[in-house]
Structure 1
Amino acid sequence: MAKPKKTPRPKAETPKGFRDYFGAEVTQRTEMLRKIAAVYHRYGFDALESSGVETVEALGKFLPDVDRPNEGVFAWQEDADADKPGDWLALRYDLTAPLARVYAQHQNDLPKPYRRYAMGPVWRNEKPGPGRFRQFYQCDADTVGAPSVAADAEICAMLADCLEEVGIPRGDYVVRVNNRKVLEGVLDWIGIAEDDERRPAIFRTMDKADKLDERGVLDLLTTGRQDASGAFIEGVGLYIQQAQQIVQYLFQKAVPPQSNKVDEFGEKNARRLASMRQAVEGSQIGNQGVNELEDIVRLAKGLGYEDDRVVVDSSVVRGLGYYTGPVYEAELTFDIQDEKGRTRNFGSVAGGGRYDDLVKRFTGQEVPATGVSIGVDRLLAALQAKGRMQTSEAGPVVVTVMDRDRMADYQTMVAELRQAGIRAEVYLGNPKNFGNQLKYADKRGSPVAVIEGRDEKERGVIQIKDLILGAQIAESATLEEWKDRPSQFEVPRDDLVAKVRDILAQHDLPGGGADK
């Protein structure tokens, strides 16, 4: 009789395009979300937490480079094998499409305009790559029901405030603004009809202008090109003259503006607006787009955001298909070293725009809306690349166990430390080997270990070991320096909290300082 086959063990590995986050990464993201939420709240936005799952129909087909309904999302059909299969459902690919559904569903109960912010993971079933994952965090703020571009100007100002709040100083970022109406005007200008099915593909190609040179964009607009991997990417199929005119617009050189416009918009923005006006001279929708950009720049300047922070840029397109007006991106302007040691610009960490037709899909009536999404994980990566974020965090104070029968005494110490606001834990492994307890504390990044054996208990004292100082001494100190700078202290049991606080304060760690 054949032996039954054993069920194979599952592989302990994350699915392709996903990753796990540990310790400092999670707490740093939480702190960043808290800071961004505080800015959103200060601007008058209310929190909203919507479902992570939507119907495919509600999400719509707005992802870039996606033509089939379920491509680009993680989707499944309820009761697929039943006589009457249920709805197609999908994990949300952003936080904006769900907002349109929420507003349409609850509009009678919501204030108008409705200002909300939302934070959480989103999922995209796209090809992963370096720094590009299938699950990532977004941090959005949107105003629904406000037709004025004053709402867009406010979003740009708020985006600048968020970047500065999390540690990106002025000079290291810029909020770049464009208008899809101007881009529509450019296509009108070169003879691409409004109903031409190639328009979405043209916009997606234009959105790559910040990653490709003029030749690369020209090839993608015409016959196609080979990417860095050697794969051939089909072109849009425009005539060479049409493609050249688009490239000329995207990489345009600014023209001299009127002097009064310089005073009104700033030198840089005045020149770029004049160039745009020239490019869409015969297009009604194009000129409307330039007018809206002038209003945004004027309002942003009135709020105190000059063209060193909010700047008009013809190359901003945004790949998502639901944008209808102003679009904006926050770009970090400093250079970093990539994984191959090459110097490159870090690039965009946030983007958004106006999407006046998104709610209309549900209600049949146009509802003006605009908003922004901040890529929190990219922001964290940027701060780490610049050395402005620690890659690890201090672990808890570890109370060691010298006598397992006195666990209650050790738990009392931990309780005192926690009540004083100090992160602490009792060693819960096998206490037989004391050296293993210190190895555990070292692996946790613990700043302090507390020791109380039978002798210390009888004398009413404890030993407190400064693990950070101990590591520093062990690394570089001579024997004489080691004697002069002891890293272990014997103090009265009642001084536990005070001495631990003193050590934490010396290392500028949370929990240090005077008694609270």
Structure 2
Amino acid sequence: MAKVKKTPRPRAETPKGFRDYFGTDVTERAEMLSKIAGVYHRYGFDALESSAVETVEALGKFLPDVERPNAGVFAWQEGEEEGKGDWLALRYDLTAPLARVYAQHRNDLPTPYRRYAMGPVWRNEKPGPGRFRQFYQCDADTVGSASPAADAEICAMLADCLEEVGIPRGDYLVRINNRKVLNGVLEATGVTDPAQSADVLRTIDKFDKVGEAGVRDLLGKGRLDASGAYIDGVGLDDAQAAPVLAFLTSRGADSAATLENLRAAVGASAIGAEGVEELAQMADLLAAQGYGPDRIVIDPSVVRGLGYYTGPVFEAELTFEILDEKGRKRQFGSVAGGGRYDDLVKRFTGQSVPATGVSIGVDRLLAALRAKGRAGSTAPGPVVITVMDRDRMADYQSIVAELRQAGIRAEVYLGNPKNFGNQLKYADRRGSPAAVIEGAEEKARGVVQIKDLVLGAQIAQNATLEEWKERPSQFEVPRDQMVQKIQDILAGQD
């Protein structure tokens, strides 16, 4: 008789680069996103939920390798057995779907179109510590307005969002720059070769790490890095490097001084002057709304997204320090970024459509709030109705229905009711504020026992025997007063 081969059991583990989110994680994120959505809504932005799947063609320039459509994204081809059909992919971010949505529905949408979107995105990249292949983004964008007022509004809204979720003034800074200013600086260097221009941009991006002296060396012949290896420089002479260094060090005591320094850095460049003027308009608009340098500043060292943004660029940086895994102090850093991207919709329509927006790093902002002790759901767990007699389950379901109809989160214990102590342990693990007990005797007398689990835990931890007797944590109340008593307990625990 042939031996039947057993099918191996699947491994109970998440795929590499993914993770599971449990109750507290999900609740904290939902509460934070709800607060951010409230700010977006207050500013007049509408919610948008687009498909999690886009065509690879729609994702376009976001793909790192257009010759391999599945590189960087999770992609598959429809009708793959015939080698035909569209390539589809899980969305890489929330901006590319917005461009597709606007191009597809522009005749039905108001102009400007102001939307916010929140949800998971997927990237087929190598995972690492704190770097996952699925993560949340939280975006807000204005499509169809070229006014610097749209950029200023996004920055103001970003500052308000940070304060709304629990980051006070002094613990964050929204920093603004403009890609046009940087283009003007490149013009002032006289560099025309695209490859050399790209090298200059990469060098500018290292300013935070190597400082002014390091950038000067890298723009010239090169320098030794921390490991002792020699890094070749871009090859600019001192005169060519001067505008770049002037640009990077142009932040002054206030916006007026910074703008004056930037005008000097861009020299006679028309595009550079245009960028400086846009920054000046943003500064005036933000000042008129009360957003001073303690919240939003012009900072030429912001050089994120150089190959993507076309005008103002901004990021939100948390300025407080935390301890890393080795106990060393370090600044938390950036939790949001954005800017103007006027060329994205053009891919679909052939016509330039101005757009500006911001993306908040949800997981990173949550980590920052936890590091400062400002995260944590305040919602209590469910009230647990214990089961004293499994044959009276209908009675317990009647109790839980009454609590739920009163708006109280509640559940009947559905495990093995044999051990009453295990039922209370379950309630503790659920973070339950109270437990309801109705045995046969209580049922006959028309009463229930209510155990205040929060007070009970406090008494057990701190009180003397005499105090414990004076502050009982279990109450007997008439059955028709049960809801009111639990409402009183919940109110007292707030």
TM-score for the superposition, normalised by structure 1? 0.88
Q: Could you say what secondary structure the match of 1:60 adopts? A: helix
* The one of 229, 235, 238 aligned to 2:234: 238
Structure 2 match to 1:435 = 421
Structure 2 match to 1:196 = 194
Structure 1 position 77 matched with structure 2 position 74 = no
Deviation at 1:20, TM superposition (A): 1.3
Q: 1:14 to 1:302 in 2, by over 3 A?
A: same
Structure 1 position 376 matched with structure 2 position 362 = yes
Q: 1:93 to 1:423 in 2, by over 3 A?
A: same
Q: Deviations over 1:268-327 (max 9, x none)?
A: 212222221121113221111111111111111112212221100111122363211101
Deviation at 1:74, TM superposition (A): 2.0
Structure 1 match to 2:265 = 279
Q: 1:212 to 1:430 in 2, by over 3 A?
A: farther
Q: Which amino acid aligns with 1:7?
A: T
Contact 1:206 1:250 in 2 (8 A): no
Deviation at 1:446, TM superposition (A): 0.9
Deviation at 1:199, TM superposition (A): 4.3
Deviation at 1:155, TM superposition (A): 1.0
Structure 2 match to 1:60 = 60
Q: Deviations over 1:129-153 (max 9, x none)?
A: 3332221111111111111111111
Segments of 5+ residues of structure 2 without an aligned counterpart are none
Give me the whole-angstrom Cα distance separating, in 2, the residues matched to 1:437 and 1:303. Answer: 56
Structure 1 match to 2:321 = 335
Contact 2:62 2:92 in 1 (8 A): no
Contact 1:23 1:393 in 2 (8 A): no
Q: Could you say what secondary structure the match of 1:314 adopts? A: coil
Structure 1 position 415 matched with structure 2 position 401 = yes
Give me the whole-angstrom Cα distance separating, in 2, the residues matched to 1:68 and 1:329. Answer: 32
Q: Which amino acid aligns with 1:248?
A: L
Give me the whole-angstrom Cα distance separating, in 2, the residues matched to 1:237 and 1:68. Answer: 31
Q: Which amino acid aligns with 1:457?
A: K
Structure 1 match to 2:90 = 91
Deviation at 1:203, TM superposition (A): 3.8
Give me the whole-angstrom Cα distance separating, in 1, the residues matched to 2:85 and 2:5. Answer: 36
Deviation at 1:41, TM superposition (A): 1.7
Deviation at 1:198, TM superposition (A): 5.2
Give me the whole-angstrom Cα distance separating, in 2, the residues matched to 1:456 and 1:79. Answer: 66
* The one of 245, 263, 267 aligned to 1:248: 245
Q: How does 1:302-317 map to 2 (within 5 A)?
A: 302-317=288-303
Q: 1:224 to 1:401 in 2, by over 3 A?
A: farther
Give me the whole-angstrom Cα distance separating, in 2, the residues matched to 1:235 and 1:118. Answer: 42
Deviation at 1:498, TM superposition (A): 1.5
Q: How does 1:111-510 map to 2 (within 5 A)?
A: 111-193=110-192, 196-197=194-195, 199-200=197-198, 202-203=200-201, 206-210=204-208, 213=211, 238-239=234-235, 241=237, 245=242, 248-249=245-246, 251-252=248-249, 254=251, 267-319=253-305, 321-390=307-376, 394-508=380-494
Contact 2:437 2:450 in 1 (8 A): yes
Q: Could you say what secondary structure the match of 2:317 adopts? A: strand
Give me the whole-angstrom Cα distance separating, in 1, the residues matched to 2:411 and 2:319. Answer: 43
Q: 1:81 to 1:240 in 2, by over 3 A?
A: farther
Q: 1:209 to 1:393 in 2, by over 3 A?
A: farther
Deviation at 1:211, TM superposition (A): 5.3
Q: 1:321 to 1:121 in 2, by over 3 A?
A: farther
Give me the whole-angstrom Cα distance separating, in 2, the residues matched to 1:271 and 1:492. Answer: 73
Give me the whole-angstrom Cα distance separating, in 2, the residues matched to 1:278 and 1:69. Answer: 45
TM-score for the superposition, normalised by structure 2? 0.91
Structure 2 match to 1:11 = 11
Deviation at 1:48, TM superposition (A): 1.4
Give me the whole-angstrom Cα distance separating, in 1, the residues matched to 2:364 and 2:451. Answer: 38
Q: Which amino acid aligns with 1:272?
A: T
Contact 2:199 2:234 in 1 (8 A): no
Deviation at 1:392, TM superposition (A): 7.5
Q: Deviations over 1:394-443 (max 9, x none)?
A: 21110000011111111111111112211110001111111111111111
Q: Deviations over 1:192-249 (max 9, x none)?
A: 32x604545654554454456557767877769879xx899x9786126479658724
Q: 1:241 to 1:18 in 2, by over 3 A?
A: farther
Segments of 5+ residues of structure 1 without an aligned counterpart are 256-266, 509-516
Give percent identity, aligned residues only.
71
Contact 2:31 2:377 in 1 (8 A): no
Contact 1:397 1:424 in 2 (8 A): yes
Structure 2 match to 1:259 = none
Deviation at 1:331, TM superposition (A): 1.2
Structure 2 match to 1:513 = none
Q: Which amino acid aligns with 2:43?
A: Y
Contact 1:249 1:314 in 2 (8 A): no
Q: Which amino acid aligns with 1:27?
A: T
Structure 2 match to 1:511 = none
Q: 1:122 to 1:281 in 2, by over 3 A?
A: same
Deviation at 1:393, TM superposition (A): 5.0
Deviation at 1:4, TM superposition (A): 4.6
Q: 1:136 to 1:205 in 2, by over 3 A?
A: farther
Contact 2:453 2:473 in 1 (8 A): yes
Give me the whole-angstrom Cα distance separating, in 1, the residues matched to 2:141 and 2:310. Answer: 15
